[in-house]
Amino acid sequence: MTRATDPQAGGLRRGETFVDVADGYRLWVEMTGDPERPALLLVMGANASGQCWPDELVELLSRDHFVVRYDHRDTGRSTHAFHERPYPIRALADDAIAVLDALRIARAHVVGMSLGGTLVQLLLLDHADRLLSATIFGSALIAGAAPDPGISDDDLPGPDPRLLALWAELGQERDPEAELRWRVEHWRVLNGAILPFDAEEFADLERRIATHSGTWHSPAAHALADQSGMERGAELANVSVPTLVIDAPEDPITPPPHADRLARAIPTATRVTVPGLGHALPLAVVPPLATAITTHTGQRP
């Protein structure tokens, strides 16, 4: 059974609460905007707190939606217990539904970035009745899809080698100053080469995340979690939920044509490009990203 620890959260009030999900995990959840507006659930990427969604983006989206963001297991203020109670990555998709259940949200627009986009693909397959629409970016097509004669696997580049080198250091113990430097450098590579990179902007973000989390420890549980059970790409051919795939042309993890390949696998998908978008969310991309999402959800013409 899932529930919000604050019973008022079931009445869709704005603010923060905690939601109890499976295996003794508790998730931090924040609600922003008018509860009478359509719900929009933000699903962040691997090892990333919900605080990685820029406040400015949440504010723009909340003008037209009741926005919910949350910390995955083993991130932010949610329970950190992977080594005692390990779980498969697919459990994180169940957590997204558990959040909706606890808040008594019957259906929501769902937006997923990076691993969040992978989880949204699973939601499209297993919980389509709970989705008003889906938006995916910074994410690759899940495994198991039928071959595409237009885009072969050989056409899909892998992550930037600089990221692979940084990921090899994920979870290492560092003092707060060294951890902050590592995280800012990570964001620098994720940002891509087109949009100017403001190191202080991302340093401020990481300071807020550390304050929110109460620690500078670098989470790495999702990199260790079981990846099995997600080889279901062929099933996306049956999706009927309106889906938007946002192409991030400067993404160093899933560069073009990953977004095109994903969009081609989903019959209801449309694809738009946010110029300059990489695998980070600097303030410069917030307005066009918000416009793309709200246009897709039908809240903006």
Q: Is 251 a residue of the active site?
A: yes
Q: Which residues in 156-171 are b (16+ Cβ under 10 Å) and which e?
A: beebbeebeebeeebe
Residue type, 157: P
Catalytic residue among 72, 186, 279, 296: 279
The pLDDT assigned to 13 comes to 57
pLDDT at 301: 60
C-alpha 215/C-alpha 6 separation (Å) is 24
Fold of 3-157+225-296: Rossmann fold (3.40.50)
- Tens-place pLDDT, residues 40-70: 999 999 999 999 999 999 999 999 999 999 9
Identify the residue whose tokens are 């922003």: 32
Distance CA 22, CA 153 (A): 36
Is the pLDDT at 6 greater than 60? The verdict is: no
Q: So what's the pLDDT on residue 9?
A: 40
Local confidence band at 218 (pLDDT 50, 70, 90 cut-offs) = confident
State the pLDDT at residue 7: 36
What residue type is assigned to position 269 of the chain? A
- Residues 236-293 have pLDDT tens digits of 999 999 999 999 999 999 999 999 999 999 999 999 999 999 999 999 999 999 999 9
Q: DSSP letters of 132-193?
A: EEEEEES-PPPTTPPP-SSS-GGGS----HHHHHHHTTTT----HHHHHHHHHHHHHHHH-S
Is pLDDT of 118 > 80? Answer: yes
3-state class (DSSP) for residue 271: strand
Between residues 8 and 82, which one has the greater pLDDT?
Answer: 82
Model pLDDT for residues 151-173, shown as the tens digit of each residue: 999 999 999 999 999 999 988 89
Average pLDDT over residues 212-239: 95
- pLDDT score of 108 more than 80: yes
For residues 89-99, give the mean pLDDT.
98
Domain boundaries, the chain: 3-157+225-296
Tell me what the mean pLDDT of segment 92-97 comes to.
98
DSSP secondary structure string, 48-100? --GGGS-HHHHHHHTTTSEEEEEPPTTSTTS---TTTS--BTTHHHHHHHHHH
Q: Which of 251, 258, 260, 296 is flagged as catalytic? A: 251
> Mean pLDDT of all residues in the chain?
94
Q: What percent of the chain has pLDDT over 70?
A: 95
Closest CA to 259 of 239, 242, 279: 279
Instruction: Give the integer Cα–Cα distance in Å for 81 and 24.
Output: 9
Residue of 49, 114, 139, 213 marked catalytic: 114
> Tens digits of per-residue pLDDT, 9-19?
444 457 999 99
* 114 annotated active-site: yes
121: Cβ contacts below 8 Å, ≥ 6 apart: 112, 136, 139, 141, 142, 232, 233, 236
